[in-house]
């Protein structure tokens, strides 16, 4: 197991424990942590839980969905930037290719 996986597992366990301490079932916390997947997303959720103190499981699930949506939107943006860059490189180098002599 590498350091990143270990950190992800530690955050996963902290998030599950936090949700359980708030009075929700451990399985609910596990489902939230699994859905969030990344360290950054789990950190955002823990920050939300501590600061906002949501009053229901629905509010927690709603925030999880919002965090997932932000992550998905960011990933799509990065993918679009990558393919735009590749397309622009293609156009740039296509115009730079030496033309063959027609003799």
Tens digits of residue pLDDT in 36-91:
989 999 999 999 999 999 999 999 999 999 999 999 999 999 999 999 999 999 98
Q: Is residue 9 part of a domain?
A: yes
Q: Is residue 31 part of a domain?
A: yes
Q: What is the sign of the dihedral through the CA atoms of 29, 30, 34 and 37?
A: positive
Q: Is residue 89 part of a domain?
A: no
Q: Is residue 82 part of a domain?
A: no
User: CA torsion 5→27→18→71, rounded to 10°?
Assistant: 50
Structure tokens at 68: 């997932």
The pLDDT of residue 42 is 96
Whole-prediction pTM value?
0.79
Domain range enclosing 18: 3-70
Q: Is residue 77 part of a domain?
A: no
Q: Is residue 46 part of a domain?
A: yes
Confidence grade of residue 99 (pLDDT, cut at 50, 70, 90) = low
Structure tokens at 81: 């930037």
Q: Is residue 51 part of a domain?
A: yes
Q: Is residue 18 part of a domain?
A: yes
Q: How far apart are CA 102 and CA 91, in angstroms?
A: 23
Q: How far apart are CA 100 and CA 37, in angstroms?
A: 53
The pLDDT of residue 94 is 84
The domain total for the chain is 1
What contacts 90, CB < 8 A, 6 or more positions away? none
Q: How many whole angstroms from its chain centre is CA 99?
A: 46
60 or 4, higher pLDDT? 60
């Amino acid at each position: 197991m590498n350091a990143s996986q270990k950190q992800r597992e530690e955050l996963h366990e902290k998030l599950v424990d936090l949700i359980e301490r708030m009075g929700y079932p451990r399985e609910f916390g596990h489902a939230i942590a699994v859905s969030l997947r990344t360290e950054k997303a789990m950190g955002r959720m823990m920050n939300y839980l501590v600061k906002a103190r949501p009053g229901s499981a629905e509010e927690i699930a709603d925030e999880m969905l919002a965090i997932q949506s932000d992550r998905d939107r960011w990933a799509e943006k990065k993918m679009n930037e990558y393919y735009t860059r590749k397309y622009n490189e293609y156009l740039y180098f296509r115009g730079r290719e030496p033309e063959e002599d027609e003799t």
